[in-house]
Amino acid sequence: MVSIYPLILCGGMGSRLWPMSRIDQPKQFQPTDGPDSLTYFQTTVQRHRGALFHDPIIVTNAAQAELVTQQLSEIQVSGRIIGEPVGRNTGPAVLAAALSILQDDPDAVLLVLPSDHIIVGDLNTTVGTMRAAAAKGQIIVFGIAPLYAETGYGYIIDGGAVAGHDGLHSVARFIEKPPVDVAEDLIHQGTAYWASGISMFRADVISAEFQRLDPQTHAAVSGSVTAAKKTRTGITLNEPEFRQARDEPTERAIFEKTPAIALAMLDVKWDDVGAWSSVYDVNTKCTDGNVTNGDVMTLDTTNSLIRSDGRLVVVIGMDDLILVDTTDALLVTNRKHAQHVKTVVEKLKSGSRAEVVSHPFRKQVWGVIEALATEPGYRLDMILLRPGSTMEINGHGLGSSFLSVVSGQGSYTDERTEEPRDLALGSMLTIDRDTEVSLTNTAKGDMRAFLLSTTTETMQDSFETEEAAPLRRALAHG
């Protein structure tokens, strides 16, 4: 029996979980239960390891491929990473993974998994029992028995048992996010299941269905895979080709139209954790009904979610509170208004606020980068590069960057240097705006450096004047 490739989809930001979730570090890459816990993505990878599975395939934003690599290495897992140059929904992402794996394994079976859901229970036994049906050409979607009339989920309507496949059912129809009265009626009928977002099928079957039902997307994605660029982490799809794919989820593009569709039911506790109220619901509560994480103290406080990423947080005399404290942003709301966080995020985006883009302190495969200051015209970061590690400093085309080593030592290369050049304590390196530099720590201890990135030619010119000499000396000496 063929093994199954977990296909983990890592797109989207999860804006309702701001300030934990950011554009550059979205929900799926954030810890599920505090700074020292596994992330949602890592938990998904761990859930599908063992004899039943191959190493995973991950489709993610190309800009987050390094982050995926880092989080895989932390749990000692290898994977095939496919970077998307632009987002095109789950349909093109799934097809890209299928076409990529078919180059190496024509019999591949894919198990499509969202990267940011919480699942408690035995999912893999059901997956294993459905493997034979998938290998024979069925496209299987997995449903969850609904607990209440949720209007934010899609529903799958059971069409009856499929002969010859124990536990497999036909699909009568799909219903996407019904109003509450329709959802209540569906639950009353007893034949409706929440769409979990999990599905399983042969890679060649899903490819053939795309070619039949959406030839434009099939041609675009096929071209983007053929012309993909190899990277240190995997591949990045060709942007001009991939951009031509239709922006559609797999459900609408294929599942609702194919005669090969079938339904299997999962007996697990499941939540897509789409808002802070969901995080509260799925976590273990203390006797006062609170969910706390980090350095938190409560008094006369009940039924609340309180998280701190660092400093002490004290809450007195509150009920139904959501409080999330990060290093640069604090969210305070009540559970009833948790869905409104998305509106705040849109306002932050329109105001070009840095707090919606990235956390100030970010772990990387090679070390850590911490944002110290961001102002119009420049950005100042502190870089910690671990011994033996290499990082890339990319020319962004807006202005030069200036690197100053304040502890340790290393070397660098760029397109102008055939051999690595040394960087000692106090060295100052100017990086042209369109130049990519590889920086390596050649010492036994950590290397620390300031990186000043100018975003306009005016700032670049100002930094190189005699008047800016004190700033250059300050950077050089930390």
| DSSP codes, 380-436 | EEEEEE-TT-EEEE---SSS-EEEEEEES-EEEE-TT-SS-EEE-TT-EEEE-TT--
Q: How far is the C-alpha of 393 from the C-alpha of 412, rounded, in Å?
A: 10
**Is pLDDT of 458 > 70?**
no
Cα distances (Å, whole numbers) of residue 170 to 173, 192, 214, 427, 428: 9, 12, 23, 68, 66
Question: Which residue segments constitute the domains of the chain, with CATH numbers given?
Answer: 4-271 (3.90.550.10), 282-341 (no CATH), 366-477 (2.60.120.10)
Of 157-161, 207-211, 397-401, 405-409, the one with minimum mean pLDDT is 397-401
Burial letters 403-413, b for 16+ CB under 10 A, else e:
bbbbebebbbb
Please tell me which residue, 67 or 56, carries the higher pLDDT value.
56
- At residue 310, the pLDDT reads 87
Q: Tens of pLDDT along 104-124?
A: 999 999 999 999 999 989 999
Q: Give 416's pLDDT tier (boundaries 50, 70, 90).
A: confident
**Is pLDDT of 412 > 60?**
yes
- At residue 419, the pLDDT reads 84
Q: What is the mean pLDDT of residues 177-197?
A: 91
- At residue 379, the pLDDT reads 82
Q: Tens of pLDDT along 268-282?
A: 999 888 899 988 988
Q: What is the mean pLDDT of residues 419-443?
A: 88
- The alpha carbon of residue 36 and the mean position of all alpha carbons in its chain are separated, in whole angstroms, by 18
* Cut 0.75: pTM above it: yes
Identify the CA nearest to 172 among candidates 158, 185, 192.
158
* Residue for token pair 């059971």: 158
Q: Give 94's pLDDT tier (boundaries 50, 70, 90).
A: very high
